[in-house]
Chains A and B, each alone.
Chain A
Amino acid sequence: MLQLVFSVPIIAGSAVFFLPVKLGRSILMATAFLHSSITALEWFHVTGPLQTKYFSNTPEGMLVLAIMSFLFLFISLYTVFYMAEVEMSKEPIFNASMMLFLGAMSMVAVADHIIMLWVAVEATTLTSAPLIFVHRSKESLEATWKYVLICSVGIALALLGCFFIIFSMEMVNIHVPISFSSLNVVATQLNPVWLKAGFVFIVIGYGTKMGLAPMHTWLPDAHSEAPSPASALLSGALLNCAFLGVYRCHQLMFNAGLGAYSSNVLIAFGLTSMLVSAVFILNQTDYKRMLAYSSIENMGIIAVGIGIGGIAAFGAMLHMIHHSLVKSSLFLSAGNILLGYGTKSIAKTRGMLKLFPRTALTFFAGFAGISGFPPFGLFISEFLIILGAIKAGRYVAISIFILSLILIFAGASRLAMQMIFSDRENVEQLIPERWKRTLPPIVLLLTSLALVIWLPDSLYLTIQNAISSIGGTVNG
């Protein structure tokens, strides 16, 4: 049953190539519905816990899978309306890649075998590449080239890390299947030196994919040049998948008694990412690039939270959920802005409040959410991470953390306010806004709000199970 979750989108995606163009959009919607129902079945353990040779349903994997499936439902809805208004010459390829991409990401979420996880992560790169260069402009080609090459090389280093971890087991003459679940059992006997080396390579490899600085250079280009639904999926779902790869290895390190080492590595990379995005966000001229740098920042926050552990780990998991919802909503709003103004330049996007009131509302609410304002979930998660850091006595790290948050808020708010509230000066409305395109971002934002007011028990328990293996607790 677990295999259905990735085989269904892969089969549907491959089928689209051979079917008439007209059918593509309905198949996309159908796949989204089917995928979310399979995920729901798995989530409520209707099929029971599963453990096969290569796949298993772990709590952290299910969390990533559920977020991804939920986002895909609304993003594919948006895509259908979006494509009705833009000319896309290679629409079948776009539709097929969306589904194959979903399949590859689902495979990451359920993979248990170390190398299978690697295969799935690499597959996400390859299936999402066509999404970025679908417009075939000079810029999108450059973005795709950087994306494919930097990520492939990065992920190749992660494969090296996987081999090191396998060697740490063979060196001490243990022979268990090379899956995370069985390695976690024998973790304490593994050779620590090779395990550490493997972890560093895996963080570099999957960290490239996750957008951790200084390996983040592909991310702003790819996110800004991809069509907006694809950017929303890249930012909301793909980065979580890469994070999952890092998180699984962190669990292994923790079980092997090397948790302090891997935590420090994660905190160092996380803080670097936050500082780098703070510097680059200050003078952005392109609003999609601004959002992309904000994704780098948020991935840094998650890495720091996981590294600190305790209640901060709970904060990091909450942050992952809310960041995915809010950021995809922002990218969908950005898609509406791009359709309306025909430009990605912040300077030319003026008077949004008068021209596109609903888009201005979703963009502003999303911006407030991503900056961590109280009604939204990112406030709680960032607060929990800061609380956890103070409890753990990591004062230097948390000072840098808070400083970066302030810098990013200062930089991004100036740009966002300029876009929303400035006067309308000879700006033309290319395509008027429509309810069907503004509804998906609203729904995603409302979901984030709803999860603040009421966190369902099953979600709460899943987060708790996911972080208990790295010593994270809700009670601090």
Chain B
Amino acid sequence: MIHISNILLALILLSVLLSLRSNRLMALVKLMAFQGIVVSAVPLLLETAHGVNFNLFMFFLLLVAVKGVLIPGLMYRAVKWVVVDREVEPIIGYHASLFAGLILIVFSVYVTNHLQLAMFSESHKLLLVTAITTMGAGLVLLMARRKAITQVIGYLMMENGIYLIGTALAKQVHTQYVVEFAVLLDLTVAVLVMGIVVNDINHTFDDVDTALMGQLKD
């Protein structure tokens, strides 16, 4: 039986692979919005077995608003301000990144199978596979791209992955809305601050290429 949460996980993996392949900043931002919404929905659908309570649903709406609308909106504005829309000459090429993504999936399956989590159901294991892949792909984006905006997107993707790992492992966190709200607030402010810095980098260097910044070294 194909559970609906498995479809969501497949969609997340698809968005991860697409973002590793994509060379347009605007397309990346849209992918992040999509990924944000799907990631927010995962805890909701995993908990359906126990029945969805009102708080969980309200929190889902908040998550979608922040991860799917607010943060991509901030990124959208940042991309609009920046003149260039393409990632030129990435440090690791697109095909190589895509290949790295595929290897990451294999690696995550291997790791998950060796963790000996007897108490986990199949869909929880799949969730863990997706989560580790998403986190790893975020790190790949962070290291393999030179544009500051793509690096922010890499950070967001990594954060999504860690959030999913939290969903799989630390269920108790998701019942403490104050804490989760605070984490979400941090994430939003982080993207806001990064957006401001990206904008200033663009003003000062006429580009958002981090390779241009190499003044400080020993």
Complex alpha-carbon distance, A228 and B200, angstroms: 22
| Interface flag for A144 (CB, 8 Å) | yes
Contacts of A146 in B (CB 8 A): 216
Complex alpha-carbon distance, A146 and B194, angstroms: 11
Contacts of A280 in B (CB 8 A): 218
Give the total of B residues in contact with A, Cβ under 8 Å. 39
B193–A156 touching, CB < 8 Å: no
Residue from the list A119, A145, A166, A178 in contact with B169, Cβ < 8 A: A166
A143–B166 touching, CB < 8 Å: no
A142–B216 touching, CB < 8 Å: yes
- What DSSP secondary structure best describes chain B's contact surface? helix
Contacts of A171 in B (CB 8 A): 119
Give chain B interface residues in 186-216, CB to chain A under 8 Å: 186, 189-190, 193-194, 197, 200-201, 204-205, 210, 213-216
| Interface flag for A221 (CB, 8 Å) | yes
Complex alpha-carbon distance, A152 and B162, angstroms: 13
Contacts of B135 in A (CB 8 A): 160
- What DSSP secondary structure best describes chain A's contact surface? helix
| Interface flag for B66 (CB, 8 Å) | no
Give chain B interface residues in 115-174, CB to chain A under 8 Å: 119, 135, 139, 142, 148, 151, 155, 158-159, 162, 165-166, 169-173
A143–B218 touching, CB < 8 Å: no
| Interface flag for B183 (CB, 8 Å) | yes
| Interface flag for B58 (CB, 8 Å) | no
A170–B148 touching, CB < 8 Å: no
Q: Name the distance in Å between A229's Cβ and chain B's nearest Cβ.
A: 20
A156–B158 touching, CB < 8 Å: yes
Contacts of B216 in A (CB 8 A): 139, 142-143, 146, 220-221, 224-225
| Interface flag for A414 (CB, 8 Å) | no
A138–B151 touching, CB < 8 Å: no
Complex alpha-carbon distance, A125 and B139, angstroms: 20
| Interface flag for B179 (CB, 8 Å) | yes
| Interface flag for B182 (CB, 8 Å) | yes
Q: Name the distance in Å between A171's Cβ and chain B's nearest Cβ.
A: 8
User: How does the 8 Å CB contact mask read for A285-311 relative to B, with 1 for contact and 0 for none?
Assistant: 000010000000000000000000000
Q: Name the distance in Å between A78's Cβ and chain B's nearest Cβ.
A: 25
Residue from the list B155, B173, B215 in contact with A153, Cβ < 8 A: B155
Look across to chain B and name the residue whose beta carbon is closest to the beta carbon of A144.
B197
Give chain A interface residues in 85-121, CB to chain B under 8 Å: 113, 115-116, 118-119
Complex alpha-carbon distance, A54 and B181, angstroms: 14
B210–A145 touching, CB < 8 Å: yes
Beyond A141-B205, A146-B216, A148-B197, list 13 extra A-B contacts (CB 8 Å). A116-B182, A126-B189, A129-B193, A130-B193, A133-B197, A142-B213, A144-B197, A153-B158, A156-B158, A170-B171, A175-B172, A224-B216, A225-B216
- The interface of chain A, by Cβ under 8 A from chain B, is 54, 113, 115-116, 118-119, 122-123, 125-126, 129-130, 133, 136, 138-139, 141-146, 148-149, 152-153, 156, 159-160, 162-164, 166-167, 170-171, 175, 178, 220-221, 224-225, 280, 283-284, 289
- The interface of chain B, by Cβ under 8 A from chain A, is 119, 135, 139, 142, 148, 151, 155, 158-159, 162, 165-166, 169-173, 176, 178-179, 182-183, 185-186, 189-190, 193-194, 197, 200-201, 204-205, 210, 213-216, 218
